[in-house]
Structures are given as C-alpha cells and as structure tokens.
Structure 1
Amino acid sequence: MQGTILILDGVSTNRIMLKVQLSAAYYHVVQSDGLQGLLALARRCRPDLIVTAMSLPDGNALAVREVMQQDESLRHIPIIAVTAQNDPSARLTALAGGIDDVLAQPLDDLILQARIRSLIRARSGTEELHPRDSTPDTLGFAEPVASFEAPAQVALLTRDAATSSVWRARLKGLTRHRLQSHQMNNIHALMADPVPDAIVVDLTGAQPQQGLRLLADLRARSMTSHAALIAVVPAAAPHLAADALDRGAHDVLQCGFCPQELSLRLTSQLRRKASSDRLRASVRDGLRAAVRDPMTGLYNRRYALPHLAAIAGKAAETGSSFAVMLADLDHFKQINDAYGHQAGDAVLIETARRLKSQLRPIDMIARVGGEEFLIVMPNTDQAAATVTADRLCRQINALPFQCPGTSQPVHVTTSIGVVVGPPAGSDPRLTPDQFATALIGQADRALYGAKGSGRNRVSLIGAAA
C-alpha cells in the first residue's frame, strides 16, 4: 500500500467511484459521508491525505480542515477539495482557507494521482524532520506562531520578457514579496545569491518541455532544491500539470496564470518552506549539539571516538602515522575549591581556546572528561607530536588565566600523554574501533606517567602492537 486516503462525500456513488480510482493505485481507502465522528475516524486510520467534497451534508471542506486543526498530530494532513464544477471563486475561497488543492468533477485520474503523490511526498519529507516523541517544544521543533514574516524573493521564470512583464504587473498589488524576472534561456542570474525562496515556472507556451526540464533541474540542484516551485500550465493540458508535479513542482496552477490564485499558492508554499527551513535548521542544530560540548564548543566523546577510529582505519590503509594525546589540567579540583565553579568553567573555556589555537585545521580536539581533552593529529610522526605537545603545555602554563570573581590571575598547568600510532605491527584482529580504544588507553597510561613525574610535562610512548 502506498498510503491511506480518507474520502469524505455525502454522495455514495461519488465515494465508490473515487475509491475505485484510488484502490487501483494501491492506496488504502477509508470512507465517510461527513463531519460527524470525523476526528475519531482520522485518529483511528491516520490518513496520509484527505479527499473531500467541497460541500458535505453537515459542513464543507473548510470545516474539515478546522476539525483536523484540533489535533496536533492531524493538522498537517493534506486536503484536496472536489467541486461539482470548475468554479474559480470557490477555488480561491478554499485555497485562502488553507485547502491544499481544489479539483473539479469529473476528476481526471492523471492529475488526481499526480497531485496525491506530490502532496504525500511533501508531507513525508516534513514528517521525517518532525520529532516522533512528545517533546517538540523542549527540543525547539514547535511550529512558529507566524511564518515567513519577511518579504520573500520570488522569481518569475517565463518564456519571454513580455510574459514576465505582464505577470509582474498583475501580481504587484496582490503580494508583498519581491518579484524578479528571468527568461528560460538565461537562468545564470537565477542561480546567483540570494537564491529565490520561490520560483514560478511558465509552462503555457507552445513548447513546455524546456520548462519541465528546468523544473527537474531546479529540484535536483543543491542551491534551489528547497525553493518552492510552482508551475503555471494551460487549462487544456492536465497531463502537463501531472508531469510538472512528478518532475518536482510543489504546486501547479492548472487553469493558466491567475494572479489571485498564484498569490494564494505562493503564500501557502512559502509558509511551508519557512516551516521546513526551520525544522531543518533545528535538526542541524540538534545534530551539532549532539557532538559538541556545550561549555567549550569542542567536540565531545560521542564524536571523538568514531573520528579516531576513522583516522586509525585510514592510517592502516595508507601506512601513515598519527598522534593521540590526552591533556589533563593539573590540580583542577583545587581551582574549583579555591575560586568556585564559575572560575573553573572559565579556565576550561580558555584552555579549549588556547589548545585549539595551536592545532592544524585537520587536527581534532574534544573534551572527553571534566578537565580532560583528547587530541587526534593525522599524518603526524613522533618528532612532530613531541614538538606539538610541548607547545601545548607552554600555551597553558606560560600565561595566567583571568577568571571572573578572582582578584588575582590563576596559574594553570597541564600534563599530556602522547602515543604515536603507526599501524604497522598492530594486531590485525583489532577493528578500527578496538584499535582506537586501545590507543586511548595507551595515551591514558602516558598521561599517568606525566602526572607521576611531577606534572606540567609531556610523556610519550609508542603504540603497542
């Protein structure tokens, strides 16, 4: 089954005919005749999409949407309204009320199936970004109160300058967004920064294939893949609308250019884009936070260990050497006890900054314990590792730390254990993860050696086989 579709219609023959159409496309179909019991039904069947008659015995399509809005888990279900005839006024009213699309009887199977695929695909992409537990507000995934408050950048991609000029003039009074004109035979300016938030593609000409190719190309390019794509097709070409949706258009104007309808669809698509952009940013921030130490901004153990395993595996393939260091601040507990945890935190933050400033871009540094830092340096031999470790030690002990709440600067030193890991001679039975863990254990023993020898120094050992 491709998904579940809920059909709402007071006329049983309409429901039966629609069920036949959708079942032939392997959708699971659930039926009802109106609003009565709708919320409970939707909660049970969890539809991926709703197809409703514009008028129901006890309400209309807009009332269906209002019912869905009562449940957070149902409010993003796409809704297609079906009218008895092609009524532009009813279509605009429905679109303004948040209905995703309006189709007229008799339903063209080609455009119906393409529209369903497009809406379910869009919803699935958004659902993948939504957390599946009950803590969206805590994690920062809750919907914003208002979306796309700033004017958006909208590109009109037409077959000629005259068409673009007419579209801009008719749209200008209906939208607050910034309109740009581009011709299909020259889209270099379209790809320049800033990339448009929405792109309207003209398919009304005698040769729409160029526009269809551009739709697929725009959807595939990383720069424009998240832009809202809206195609404008002539009323007499439903196959063209279906093709545009399957090529990647998020929305279509099936009856040619209508400035009022385009304005409504732009508002809807830009709202969705703003929500998706926010969710993607939240996911990126969440992933970044998952591998970063919140205090110092360095990587944490969750990132560091797989990274070290990857370096070890690559070194085994290339025969190169690499260094693993564990740096631990000396007598750090005494700093906390004498000056307070706020001063201790300041020392950790400054230590992270100083250590990082002495490393190469390819080196990795992570905070893996309270006052312990792991450093991994690829393509580094014993001599280079020794020089770097000595420099790191001096970077900490050479200059006192200025801490909040202390009248005198705080003197801090560090001890560093170093192991240089040429893969030659290592146990071939060890996986990269196991070898990385063994290297950290050896660096830890080297660190204890530095502590036992008086602290504020470097201790280096070779990697054991």
Structure 2
Amino acid sequence: MTARVLVVDDVDANVKLLEARLSAEYFEVRTANSGPDALQICTREGTDVILLDVMMPGMDGFEVCRKLKSEPRTQHIPVIMVTALDQPGDLLRGLEAGADDFLTKPVDDLALVTRVKNLARLKLLTDEMLMRASTEEQMGVATAMGPGLEQAGRDGRILLVEDRERAADRLVKALETEQHVTCEPDPARALLSVPDGNYDLLIVSLNLVNADGLRLCSQVRSLDRTRHLPIMIVVEPGEEARLLRGLDMGVNDYIVRPVDGNELLARARTQIKRKRYTDYLRTRLEQTVEMAVLDPLTALHNRRYMSSHLKTLFEESAHRGKPLSVLVLDIDHFKAINDTHGHDAGDAVLREFGVRLKRNIRGIDLACRLGGEEFVVVMPDTDLDKAYLVGERLRQCIAAAPFFAGERHGALEVTASVGVASLEFPDDTPELILKRADQALYCAKRDGRNRVVADAA
C-alpha cells in the first residue's frame, strides 16, 4: 500500500535517510525541519502518518505530538516518535503526549516499513468512517478522543497465548499494572474463548512449544467476530521471515525478545486505544446509517427507505410471479388532534400508531411512515383479498382502544382509513401500485373514514 508520510527532524541527514527508505517502498514523503512547520503542513495539507523526531530545538517532539492530538482536525493522524532515547521515562512521556508508536535510532528498515504500513492502514480505515459523517460534531470525535485520550488504552482485556510458564509470568507481570490479562497456554482453547471474551487485544507467542502461533493468528483473522481484534506477536531475534508472514496475514504489531516491559505496555496501550477508537467510529457509523433509514419519531422505516425497498420487493415479486400488496393508512382528523391538544399529543399518537402497526403485521412486511400522519405497509406474497383482511385488522386495532397522549391530555379516540392495492398488471410499477392504494385511501376518507377500501382496478 502507499500513503502520505511526513518526516519531521531538524537534522537533514536523518531526514534524507528516512525519506530514501520510505520512497523506496513507494510512500509519498513530505519533510519538515521543525515542529511549527510540521503543524502547519498537517493542518493545511493533511498526512497519513507522521515520523516525529523527539530532540528538536524550540518545540520538541513531545510538544508537537500533544498539539496534534489536541486538535480535532489532526488528532486521528498516527504519530511515530523517532528517538535515540530509550529510557522508560521517555516512553511514558511519548505515551502521555499521545504517540501511537516508537522507533529507536538507528532505525531498523523492517520495523520502519512495518510500523508505517500498519498505521497507514489504520488511518485509511479511520478516514473512510469519518467521511461517512458530514461533520466531526456529528461523529462526536472531539468527545471520543479529547481529554481522556491518555486513558483510552488502559483497563483493557488482553488474552495472552504463551505455553512457557516463566515467559508467560514475565509478560503478565508487565501488563497487569495497567490491563486485565488472561493467560491461555492452549491455542485451541484460546480460539474458542476469543469470540465470546470481549477482548481488546490478543498477544500470541510465535515460539509456542506445542503449537504454531501463526496458525492461531490466521484463524482469528478469518473469523467474522474477531476480524477486527488487534493481534500482537512476540518474536525471537532473527525471525524476520515468520514475522513478515504474520504481518502479511494481518497481525497489527510485534515485539522482539527480550521484551522490555515499558515497550510492551506502550504497544498494548496503543492497540487497545486504536481498537476502542475504531469500535466507537464503527458504532457511530451504524447509528448514522440507521438514522438515515428510520423515522426518528416512530422508529419505522422512512420514505427514502420505503421507495428503495419497495422497488426491490416489486422486482422480486414480478420476476417470481408472486403477489405483492400495499396498504396506505392515514390517521383520521389528525389535524384536529394537533390543533386541540398540541403537537406533543400528536407526536404521542403517531408513536403509538407505529407500535400498533408493527405489532399487527408479519416480520417480512415493511412498515413505513410516509410523512405526516400517513403510513405505508408493503406485504410480499400477499394478494389483494388477504391484504384487505390485514387492512381491516389494522383498522380495528387502531379503533379498539384509546391512545394515551400523556398525563395532560389523557386518552384520545383515534381511527384510521386504509387504502389497499396489489400488483395485478404486466405494466405495473411500484409508483402505480402506490397511486392506486392512495386513490383507494381517498375513497375511504370520502365515504366516511374509519374504513378499508381496496382498489378494484
């Protein structure tokens, strides 16, 4: 894959070295020699991954990272801190500033490319979800990644797969200062427990005595319920070939033995934070999609969804030679309810109408609010006679019991008129069927309301 990478370092030789390595992998590279220049580029042009040197005059890398992560427009850009410092305190400072990953000078080529590719992949996913929302406020990004950013990667649930007791103890001891760790020595049992364990991270040793750790990673990636679970592998020095195979199959990160406890914590925290962020965006995206097809007042499908789905159901019915019917329902004298009791009472009636409608149709039927006080029910595999009976049942259930409109207004008597039409003619279209149902509804209202009329065209 390719991505836009911003290299930030005040030493030209370092910049040129990283630029050459990344360009050889077909990344598009931009450079900056100071923190302010980097911030300006990110704000003005955007980027996919930032390689940020720590030791710079004026504004150091920690301050640059903090500023990037505090701005809604740049806080989702992954930052890799590049430093010659390897003290635990520096790692912690980088984490607190919001860094997503770390590289230590001299930079290893495999680590460089791997880290950049993984974070660029994350950025691509994040951008795709953010683009589905019209504004950052709509997605709630500022709330999700604001003041609690440094806490987002803590208190996670980690499943560690390691069958060597002493090695497992060391890893658990390092992780349990911030995370909740379950250690499972048997990969087969681990595979069974992962889907239902609500884990935030899976850590797998590639040096299992009795099993192949890479096979477990492959199986976890192939399951729908664990497809998005971050995976970190623990490798021995010199295992580049197996490491590359793991990365190719979708492993998110790795750490090389002997494992530094602070680095392990840093990488675990980054993966957990990333998972929670993408889970949040995914959930908000699903809610946005739901809002686009549902009427917010009645929770029935809206007119836009009805138009699209009716067309699909019509085409299926016409192709298979099966019946299809449509009911158009209208609440009688609804304007009088609003005028007499107010719009809050009218809203209560509409909500209850939607509840009764849904309760009295089949699961395969499609109930929609067309707009105002008008509703539509689309019924596959239903001819005109059966649709009429359904319409009559709905009319009766609306009239049978008063609608509670709130403590102020009490119970209101409500009735509905219903028009019915079906797929009958070779040249029928969804629009024609709806029009005939609407004409039948007009006849029901003209003839006294609170009745069902079937189109007999």
Instruction: Give the TM-score, by structure 2 length.
Output: 0.90
Counterpart residue number, 1:440: 434
CA deviation after TM superposition for structure 1 residue 304, in Å: 1.0
CA contact (8 A) 2:174 2:261 kept: yes
Distance 2:12 2:340 in 1: 81
Structure 2: 5+ residue stretches without partners: none
Query: Does the C-alpha gap of structure 1 residues 121 and 70 become closer, same or farther in structure 2, counting only changes over 3 Å?
Result: same
Moved more, 323-332 or 74-83: 74-83
Counterpart residue number, 2:26: 26
Counterpart residue number, 1:80: 80
CA contact (8 A) 1:68 1:74 kept: yes
Query: Does the C-alpha gap of structure 1 residues 365 and 216 become closer, same or farther in structure 2, counting only changes over 3 Å?
Result: same
Matched, 1:199 2:202: yes
Residue 377 (structure 1) aligned to one of 376, 379, 385: 379
Pairing 1:15-164 to 2, within 5 Å after superposition: 15-69=15-69, 71-84=71-84, 90-91=90-91, 93-95=93-95, 97-131=97-131, 135-144=135-144, 145-146=147-148, 148=152, 151-160=155-164, 163-164=167-168
Counterpart residue number, 1:260: 262
Distance 2:292 2:286 in 1: 10
Aligned amino acid, residue 159 of structure 2: A
Counterpart residue number, 1:337: 339
Residue 279 (structure 1) aligned to one of 278, 281, 284: 281
Distance 1:108 1:126 in 2: 27
CA contact (8 A) 1:118 1:246 kept: no
CA contact (8 A) 1:4 1:45 kept: no
Instruction: Give the TM-score, by structure 1 length.
Output: 0.88
Query: As a proportion of its length, which structure holds more helix?
Result: 2
- RMSD value, Cα: 2.8
Query: Does the C-alpha gap of structure 1 residues 295 and 268 become closer, same or farther in structure 2, counting only changes over 3 Å?
Result: same
Query: Does the C-alpha gap of structure 1 residues 188 and 12 become closer, same or farther in structure 2, counting only changes over 3 Å?
Result: closer
CA deviation after TM superposition for structure 1 residue 119, in Å: 0.6
SS in 2 for 1:17: helix
Moved more, 394-403 or 131-140: 131-140
CA displacement, residues 251-298 of structure 1 (integer Å, 9 cap, x when unaligned): 221344333322222222222222222211111111111111111111
Pairing 1:413-452 to 2, within 5 Å after superposition: 413-422=415-424, 425-427=425-427, 435-452=429-446
Distance 2:383 2:132 in 1: 47
Aligned amino acid, residue 323 of structure 2: S
SS in 2 for 1:56: coil
Distance 2:280 2:416 in 1: 42
SS in 1 for 2:184: strand
CA displacement, residues 184-212 of structure 1 (integer Å, 9 cap, x when unaligned): 2433442352331211111245799x322
Distance 1:91 1:238 in 2: 25
Counterpart residue number, 1:357: 359
Moved more, 154-163 or 114-123: 154-163
CA contact (8 A) 2:157 2:179 kept: no
SS in 2 for 1:223: helix
Matched, 1:454 2:456: no
Structure 1: 5+ residue stretches without partners: none
Matched positions, count = 453
CA deviation after TM superposition for structure 1 residue 137, in Å: 2.2
CA contact (8 A) 1:92 1:261 kept: no
Counterpart residue number, 1:310: 312
CA contact (8 A) 1:80 1:101 kept: yes
CA contact (8 A) 1:235 1:255 kept: yes
SS in 2 for 1:50: strand
Distance 1:211 1:171 in 2: 20
Distance 1:258 1:226 in 2: 26
Moved more, 322-331 or 54-63: 54-63
CA contact (8 A) 2:356 2:397 kept: yes
CA displacement, residues 153-190 of structure 1 (integer Å, 9 cap, x when unaligned): 21002245554344324433x22424343522433442
Distance 1:110 1:142 in 2: 34
CA contact (8 A) 2:420 2:441 kept: yes
SS in 1 for 2:35: coil
Distance 1:133 1:361 in 2: 31
Distance 1:93 1:346 in 2: 54
Moved more, 141-150 or 31-40: 141-150
Moved more, 298-307 or 49-58: 49-58
CA displacement, residues 330-357 of structure 1 (integer Å, 9 cap, x when unaligned): 1111222222222222221111111211
CA contact (8 A) 2:195 2:226 kept: no
Distance 2:20 2:153 in 1: 43
Query: Does the C-alpha gap of structure 1 residues 206 and 256 become closer, same or farther in structure 2, counting only changes over 3 Å?
Result: farther
Aligned amino acid, residue 153 of structure 1: R
Aligned amino acid, residue 162 of structure 2: T
CA displacement, residues 384-414 of structure 1 (integer Å, 9 cap, x when unaligned): 1121111111111122223225566322111
CA deviation after TM superposition for structure 1 residue 69, in Å: 3.3
CA contact (8 A) 1:111 1:241 kept: no
Identity of matched residues, %: 33
